[in-house]
C-alpha cells in the first residue's frame, strides 16, 4: 500500500531515503515502526512521528498500523527559543 512521507527539520541522507512529500510503498497493514525501518534515516536517531497529524508516541509505533493513503510525518523534537 502507499503511504505519504513528510520530513520536518530532519536531515536525510542523500540516497536511499524518500524525498519530502514522496509516496512510498509499504506492506499492507504495516506498523509505523516498519515503515520507519524502510526509510534510510542516516544519523537521525531522534525524531517524533505524526500519522495524519496525530502524534504516535515512540512506544506505540510498533502497534500503530498504517492504512492506504496515510501521511506519516517525521520531525525533530525541537525546543523553543
Should residue 64 be labelled a site residue for other proteins when binding is judged by CB under 8 A? no
Residue recorded with cell 536517531: 45
Q: Which of 14, 25, 28, 54 binds other proteins (CB under 8 A)?
A: 54
Question: Concatenated DSSP letters for 5-47?
Answer: EEEES----SSSSPPTT-EEE--TT-BHHHHHHTS--TT----
Should residue 50 be labelled a site residue for other proteins when binding is judged by CB under 8 A? yes
Integer Cα distance of 81 and 78 in angstroms: 9
Q: Which of 15, 25, 28, 53 binds other proteins (CB under 8 A)?
A: 53
User: What is the contact surface with other proteins in residues (CB under 8 A)?
Assistant: 6, 8-9, 11, 43-44, 48, 50, 53-58, 73, 75-81
Amino acid at each position: 500500500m502507499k503511504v505519504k512521507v513528510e520530513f520536518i527539520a530532519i536531515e536525510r541522507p542523500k540516497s536511499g531515503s524518500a524525498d519530502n512529500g514522496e509516496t512510498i510503498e509499504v506492506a499492507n497493514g504495516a506498523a509505523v515502526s516498519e515503515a520507519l525501518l524502510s526509510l534510510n534515516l542516516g544519523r537521525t536517531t531522534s525524531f517524533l512521528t505524526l500519522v495524519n497529524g496525530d502524534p504516535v508516541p515512540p512506544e506505540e509505533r510498533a502497534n500503530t498500523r498504517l492504512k492506504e493513503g496515510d501521511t506519516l510525518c517525521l520531525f525533530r523534537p525541537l525546543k523553543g527559543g
